[in-house]
Structure 1
């Protein structure tokens, strides 16, 4: 196993903090954003899509945990692909992660803006990126403490949504039943879109150089974070779908706020909007962490400018990578559309996890990584065509950059 060149990051996180960072990455990234487009693709079949996305996520999480225990370095699948498959596949994984998660960061920043003040959405998004980049710059412990507070607030809001809809609304189980309009393709497309919500466990693996006893901590933290997230998503999705129905959910711009309003408790809607903004902030915080750590790992290997591999002598953070990622995300948030960002991000991250599963395949016990590899490629191919075309083009640009590098 190769070791990272340059200053090492500080190992400060235990299992609880690693789980919290994973939760902060997942809870909020999808439940406030991806339910509506998933319902548009699959109607009430989005619940099956959620299950499919969870199965693929479980395979990816299992593969990532095995690899992270063996290679406890920052960089995630960039490191695993490099060590198990060769430098080109590591580069492709790292490139896919950085561009895909940069789009995710922009989507989360814009979600903050649209929920708080739609007419100022882009300005608020840029301000959020600047603020959280400053938090991450000051070190991983401060980021973990803030993420813990954010997760607590978001879980309370989601619990409030479920209690309101089930306790006061007209939640009709018949709205969960399948109709003849549901297709396999629609369900799988919904799964690909909902996968966007589960990808946060990668943040735990990319922090492998900053957790204590990574061989033990990471394999514990990843499945725990994933299981908690799946349980929360299932309860909230059932509540919103049974309260609104698939047609209303598909057209909703703020589905959880609409659900509590339809339940006859409109006073909860502002609380839900604030909760959505806080959730998006939590996701954005952890996303920037993951992208900057992969940037650090690629810079160490000269796949990105070597100056980005610097570690702050006081804070122990990859400060130049943090600033560079923050600048790029702020620029993207000022220019892109949030739905386009979600589709493109899903494609790039599915390619990233396909490489993770291929890497885990080389370790033996191949059923789970084989299923994960096939699932990632299938879901990526069935995403909206614009997302697939844009994703293929960007991945090819990364491959060309690798071939042309000195």
Structure 2
């Protein structure tokens, strides 16, 4: 199946390299940096930095493969398009399915994170739903406005993180913590959990039809965004280990707020809420674009492929994603959604690396493919089981649709 689409189903190319980098940063430097280190330290112990390095290595391979593919196929949908073109329709569909269901869960988790830092427990589902609907309305009016808001959110988050790291190192010596034992399997699991916080550069690729000169812009924006994110994560990880030690870091849900001086904790908590808001903004944007691409090809209801005549965005896909996420936050506790989302996203990138292998056989796509598979199956058992079950449901739906289409011919 080719990539030709009608003029009415094409999106406006408005984003430059700076906008694309900011969208990637807004996706990666979000709630993950505030919440992912604690469970990762619980899994890896004092080897947390090794887990971070492994996650970054796999993310780099994925970013490189995604950049090559995006330059060849600058179309909205990311690995859904790449897998379809390089491996066949089913693999593209499976990548798109994994991305949509995994990142929809991530959207709900980010919305609940925003609410957790702002309001008491009883109000959190309702505030989270309101946040989702407000951001959906923002995206509805055009991606350029979303990019501008994301730039502000990224700036605020980075300022809070830099201030927190400086304050931690200036507040006194935190050495002398007991070494926390670790295992090789625990290090791999921590890498899988930390990968959740790196996965935002996919948002750049899924905006392929809205970026100016995508053959140059996307390959430049992805590694820049990933490199800046890694620098921030290394600084935060060193600061937390310095102040709390691996055992203390593993015991806190809000380790950065615990590590800074008490007078700065409210600022950190506010920054965490802003960061989660930025991640949610980019997540809704990316999921709606993949939904748009899948609907355009008939894998989801065709009505979702409509483009707004004035704002030039896939407005029905955006509304559908927003409504689904708003319902999830009202009725579902999604604390465990990170594990499921990580499994689904690692599957998505495994297909991306396999697709890149068909373009240019080499170490990077091979390492990325192997790394994604290893990290995915190193996650907690329930995440693997649920992830496999959801992917199986998607595969069954695909082949059922194919069978029905064949019987009608």
Give the TM-score taking structure 2 as reference length: 0.96
Conserved? CA contact 1:147–1:282, under 8 Å:
yes
Partner residue in 2 for 1:318? 314
Query: Matched residues in 2 for 1:182 and 1:336: separation?
Result: 33
The match for 1:279 among 264, 275, 278 is 275
List per-residue Cα deviations over 1:137-173 (Å, max 9, x = no partner). Answer: 010110000000000000000001101100113332x
Aligned residues: 399
Where does 1:175-214 land on structure 2 (aligned, <5 Å)? 175=177, 181-214=181-214
Which runs of structure 1 show a deviation greater than 4 angstroms over 4 or more consecutive aligned residues? none
Query: Matched residues in 1 for 2:368 and 2:127: separation?
Result: 37
Query: Matched residues in 2 for 1:331 and 1:33: separation?
Result: 23
Partner residue in 2 for 1:367? 363
1:144 matched to 2:147? The reply is yes
Conserved? CA contact 1:32–1:276, under 8 Å:
yes
Where does 1:71-220 land on structure 2 (aligned, <5 Å)? 71-119=73-121, 120-172=123-175, 175=177, 181-220=181-220
Partner residue in 2 for 1:342? 338
Shift in Å, 1:178: 5.8
Partner residue in 2 for 1:293? 289
Shift in Å, 1:29: 3.4
List per-residue Cα deviations over 1:384-406 (Å, max 9, x = no partner). Answer: 01110100000000000100113
Conserved? CA contact 1:207–1:293, under 8 Å:
yes
Root-mean-square deviation (CA, aligned residues, Å) is 1.2
Conserved? CA contact 2:293–2:305, under 8 Å:
yes
Shift in Å, 1:338: 3.6
The match for 2:55 among 50, 53, 56 is 53
SS of 1:324's partner is helix
Structure 2: runs of 5 or more not aligned: none
Partner residue in 2 for 1:259? 259
Query: Matched residues in 2 for 1:14 and 1:29: separation?
Result: 25
Conserved? CA contact 1:4–1:297, under 8 Å:
no
The match for 2:67 among 61, 65, 68 is 65
Conserved? CA contact 2:84–2:91, under 8 Å:
yes
Shift in Å, 1:312: 0.5
Shift in Å, 1:303: 0.1
List per-residue Cα deviations over 1:252-295 (Å, max 9, x = no partner). Answer: 121111111xxxx2111110011000000000000000000000
Is the alpha carbon distance of 1:311 and 1:40 closer, same or farther for their aligned partners in structure 2, counting shifts above 3 Å?
same
List per-residue Cα deviations over 1:85-129 (Å, max 9, x = no partner). Answer: 000000000000000000111111111011112412212211110
Conserved? CA contact 1:27–1:279, under 8 Å:
yes
List per-residue Cα deviations over 1:10-37 (Å, max 9, x = no partner). Answer: 0000000000000000002311121111
Shift in Å, 1:332: 1.5
